[in-house]
Structure 1
Amino acid sequence: MHKPTLLILAAGIGSRYGGNKQIDGFGPNGETIIEYSIYDAIRAGFGKVVFIVREEILDLVKTNIVDKIGNKIEIDFAIQSLESYVPEEYQEPDRVKPFGTAHAVLCAKDKINEPFAVINADDFYGKEAFKELGDFLQNQVKENKHCMVGYAIKDVLSENGTVSRGICETNKDNELIGMTERTAITREEGKILSKSDGDVIEIDPDNPVSMNCWGFHPSFFDETERIWKAFLPENKGNLKAEFYIPTVVNTLIEENKASFSILKGGKTWFGVTYSKDKPVVIDALKKLHNNGDYPEKLWD
C-alpha cells in the first residue's frame, strides 16, 4: 500500500487573526505550525504533503515553509479559487470568501490517489494524532471506512474569544453517527456553553469534537464531488454559503454509505484564531521542545 498523504488546508483568509497565520512563526526558531504537522507526519509514515492554498499566497508558502523542509518529503500544491469546480452558471462575481473546507478538499482531487489525512494549517494536533492517523490509513482504511481524530471540547477552547466546534455524537463502537456545528462556545463559571442565536446550550466537557483532523480513503473525493453538485443549485445566489467537510460526512452517514471511526490520538491541541492566541502557542511549543518532543531545530 502507498504511504498516506497529508492534505493541509491553508487557503483561509484569517480575518480574525489579522494576517496570514499560515506562514507566521511560532516555534523557537520561527517555525510555523504547519512545519510541526509535517514533522509529525513524516515520523508517522506519511509519504507526501499537498498544500491547498490561494494563488496569492502560493509563493509565500513556498518561501516561508517549503524551502526550509527541503527534500525530506514530497510536496505538491493545489489552488482553491472561487471558480474551482464551480460551473459558470454558479459562479458569483460578488463572492469574497472561499467555499469552505470540503470544497478545499475537492480542489486536491487530481493530486491524491492514496489514503490521505486532512488538517488545518493553523492548528497544532500533536504527534499522537499523526501516529493514530498513519496507522489507520496504512492498515485499516477502506472505501467505506474513514476516520477522525477526536478531541475533548474542554481541551480545545480559546481564552481570547468564542469558537465554533463540530460536536460529535458516537455509537457504542466509537464511530461517528452525527455532528452538529455549535458556535459562540465559551467557558463560563466552570461550564462550557454555546451561546448563539439567543439559545444557551451546555456541553459536556468530555464530549468529543471535530478539529478538522480527518483520515479518508480516496473514494471520499468522488462522494464529495457528488454532494457538491447538489449543494451548488441549492445555494445559488447565497454569497455566504460554505461547503464543509462535516456536511459531506453527515450526508454519508445519513445515507449509510460510510463509517467514521473516532481515533483516540487527540491528546494535545492548540490553535490560532485570534492574534492574542499567538503568545500562548509560542509558550506551548517552547515547552514541547524543552520536554524533548521536538529537537532544538526541526530541520537540521
Structure 2
Amino acid sequence: MAAGRGSRYGALKQFDGLGPFDEFLMEFSIYDALENGFDHIVVVTQKDNVKFLKEYLSARIPGATKLDVVAQEVKDLPDGVSYTGERTKPWGTAHAVWSARKVIDGPFSVINADDYYGKQAFKNAAKFVAGDSDPNAFGLVAYTLKDTLSPYGSVSRGVCKQDGNSLVSVEERTQIEEGEKGISDADSDTKFSGEELVSMNFWVCKPIIFDQIEEDIRSFFKEEENLEKGEVYLPFVIQAMLQQGKTKVEVIPSESMWFGVTYANDKETAMAQLKTMTSEGQYRSPLWK
C-alpha cells in the first residue's frame, strides 16, 4: 500500500530514496517477497503515481514477475454508493486493499510501502500460505512492541490479544512512546512491558475479504459524519470478521527486524540500517542487478 500522503513525514515517503543506490523502501520488501516465493506484486497508490511506479518497477524487478499498479481513488466505490464532496485523502487502508480486488484472485499479503519488514517475516508468511488451505483463515505477521518504537515521537500500534496462536483482538493504542518510566500509551495511560506482539499491518488475507470490505464501506457511507475525515481501516474489518466468526486469524511471529519512516528524522536511521544490511551481504548493491 503506497497511497498515503505522508502528512507527518512531510513528503511522499514511499518514493524517498533510502537504499544505498536510492532504492525505495518498498523495493526491499518486494525483493524479500520474491525471494520467498511470491510471484505477483500489486502496488496501490495515488492515481497521479500509477504511470511512474509502473515504469519504475517494470524496469527493475524480474521480468517473470507479474506486476499491477492500481489507483486508490476517492470515487472508486461500491455500486449504488457515491460521493460528490471535496476530499483528497483516501478512504483508508481497507479501501486501499479493496482497490486491488480486480487483480487478486488468491491468497495475498498486505504491507505498508513505508515500512521494512525483514526477510524472515516474508518467509514465515509464505510458509503460512503454503500450509493453509482454509479459504477463511487469515494470518497476522506480528512484531515485538519494543522493537517498533520511534525515538522521535509517539506511534500508533495495534496490540495483539491472543489465545495461543490465535488472534482474539487487536487493541489500537494511538500514543505509544518510551519514557523514563517505561513504555506507555499517553491516550489511555496503559503501561507495556515491551514484549507484547503488535500488528504492523502485515496481513495474510484470502479473497473473501473483498466482500467484507465492500459491506463495511457501504455501512461507512450511511454515517454522514464519516465523510469529511473518516477512514475504513483494514484491522477493523478483519477484527469484525473475527468477532462474527467469518474468519480465524493465526498470529505469526515475524522473527524479523522492523523499522519505518513515520517521522522525517526516521529517514537517517532507515538509511543506516539498509546500508549496514547491504554491506553485510543481505542485499545486493544495487538491489536489482
TM-score range, shorter chain: over 0.9
Does 1:281 pair with 2:281? no
Q: Mapping of 1:177-192 within 5 angstroms?
A: 177-189=168-180, 191-192=182-183
Aligned residue pairs total 289
Q: Does the alignment pair 1:239 with 2:231? A: no
In the alignment, structure 1 residue 55 sits paired with structure 2 residue 47? yes
Deviations 1:82-115 (CA, angstroms, capped at 9, x unpaired): 1111567541513231111001111111110011
Give the structure-2-normalised TM-score.
0.95
Q: Name stretches of at least 5 consecutive residues in structure 2 with no aligned partner.
A: none
Q: Which residue of 2 aligns with 1:15?
A: 7
Q: Does 2:191 match 1:202?
A: yes
Matching of residue 228 in structure 1 with residue 217 in structure 2: yes
Distance 1:237 1:128 in 2: 38
Compared with structure 1, are the counterparts of its residues 90 and 180 closer, same or farther at alpha carbon in structure 2 (3 Å cutoff)? farther
CA distance in structure 2 between the partners assigned to 1:92 and 1:273 by the alignment? 31
Offset at residue 224 of structure 1 (A): 1.9
Q: 1:266 to 1:93 in 2, by over 3 A?
A: farther
Is the 8 Å Cα contact of residues 54 and 68 (structure 2) preserved in structure 1? no
Q: Which runs of 5+ in 1 are unaligned?
A: 1-8
Asked if 2 retains the 8 angstrom alpha-carbon contact of 1:162 and 1:185, the reply is yes
Deviations 1:216-247 (A, max 9, x none): 11122122222222222135554111101111
Report percent identity of matched pairs: 37
1:31-180 → structure 2 map (5 Å cutoff): 31-86=23-78, 90-172=82-164, 174-180=165-171
Contact 1:90 1:233 in 2 (8 A): no
Judging changes above 3 Å, is the alpha-carbon distance between structure 1 residues 141 and 85 closer, same or farther for their aligned structure 2 residues? farther
Q: Offset of 1:215 from its aligned partner?
A: 0.4
Which residue type is aligned with residue 152 of structure 2?
N
Structure 1 letter corresponding to 2:66: E
Equivalent position amino acid for 2:211 in 1: D
One-letter identity of the residue aligned with 2:117 = Y
Q: In the alignment, is the contact (CA less than 8 A) between 1:92 and 1:239 conserved in 2?
A: no
Query: Does the 8 Å CA contact 1:137/1:216 hold for their aligned counterparts?
Result: no
Structure-1 separation of matches of 2:226 and 2:7: 23
TM-score (norm 1): 0.91
> In 2, Cα distance between the equivalents of 1:285 and 1:259?
35
Structure 2 Cα separation of the partners of residues 140 and 279 of structure 1 = 39
Q: 1:44 to 1:89 in 2, by over 3 A?
A: closer
In structure 2, C-alpha distance between the alignment counterparts of 1:92 and 1:169, rounded to whole Å:
39
Per-residue deviation, residues 116-147 of structure 1 (Å, max 9, x unmatched): 00000000000011001111112214211110
Q: Give 4+ residue runs of structure 1 displaced > 4 Å after superposition.
A: 86-90
For each residue in 1:59-98, what CA deviation from the matched residue of structure 2 results, as whole angstroms up to 9, or x when unmatched? 3323444422251521012211111115675415132311
Change (3 A) 1:272 1:230: same
Q: Does structure 1 retain, via aligned residues, the 8 Å contact 2:114–2:260?
A: yes
